[in-house]
Amino acid sequence: MNWLQYKKGNVKASGLSKRIVEALGSNLTSFFKKTQREQTTHIMDSLTILGKDGLPDGREYKVMSNKISPYLRQGYTGPKQSAIFPSRYRGQFKPAEWLYDLHWYEEIASYQMTSLPLVVECEWEYKREGDEDEDDYSAVKWDFQKLLVANACLRLMIFRKRTRFTKGNEHQDLLTNNYFEDSINGYSNLSGCSKFLFIAFDEKTRALHYAEKN
C-alpha cells in the first residue's frame, strides 16, 4: 500500500475516501490538543455529519455510533443551540453500536437494511489487554479483523502510528510492514468490490497518514 501524509488541498484518494481524509485532517492542530476520548468523539462526530449531509451527490445515510457528542444523540434535552453543531443535527442520531464503532446504513423498514456504505473501527491502544506475545499492534489487528469480514462498500481502520523503539529492537510499524495488505490478499471471502481505507494519526509529528487498498 502507498501511505501518504495529509496535505490540505492535496488529498490523493478517491471518492468517499477523499472526503473522509479531508474531514478528519481539516484541523489537526486542534485535534492533537484534545484528550484521547475527545479525539474519538471528534472523529465519530465528523463521520456522522459527513454521512448525513456531507456527500457531494446529496445522498444521506442513517448513522449509528455510541461515541458521538451528547448534542447529536436521540433523546437530547439540553439547549437548542450549540456552539459546534447546526441546530438541525440536534438529537438526530442513534447513540448505539451495531457490530462496529460506527456505520452508515440504509433501510426500507425497521430491521430491513438495504446497504452498508461504511463501517469504521477506531483503536487507539497498541496491545490487547492480556495479550502475552510481542506483537506491537495486536489491539489494532484484532479490530481490523472485524472489518475484514464486514460486508460493506468501504471499511475504515483508524489507529495511532507508534513511535516507540526498544533497545536493539525496532517495533514493526503498520505503515511500513505488509500486515494489512497480506491480510486482505489472504482472505478468501472478500467480494470483488471490497475497498479499505486506513488512517493513522502520528502524535509525535502531529500528522495524519492515509492509504487505500482495493
Handedness of CA 126, 118, 104, 97 (dihedral sign): negative
Per mean pLDDT, which range of 6-15, 82-91, 158-167 is the poorest? 158-167
- Residues spanned by the domain of 131: 4-213
End-to-end CA distance of the chain: 10
Q: Is 188 exposed, middle or buried (0-12, 13-18, 19+ CB in 10 A)?
A: exposed
pTM of the model: 0.93
Cell, residue 43: 472523529
134-177 pLDDT, tens digit per residue, is 788 899 999 999 999 999 999 999 999 987 655 555 566 888 88
So what's the pLDDT on residue 168?
57
- Ranges of beta strands (E only) in the chain are 4-5, 62-64, 102-109, 112-123, 154-160, 165-166, 169-170, 195-202, 207-213
Q: How many domains does the chain have?
A: 1
Report pLDDT for 55.
85
The mean pLDDT of the chain is 92
Cell numbers representing residue 49 in the block: 455529519
In tens, the pLDDT along 24-48 reads 999 999 999 999 999 999 999 999 9
Among candidates 145, 151, 150, 139, which has minimal Cα distance to 182?
145
Q: What is the pLDDT of residue 170?
A: 58
Tens of pLDDT, residue by residue over 104-116, are: 999 999 999 999 9
Q: What is the pLDDT of residue 213?
A: 93
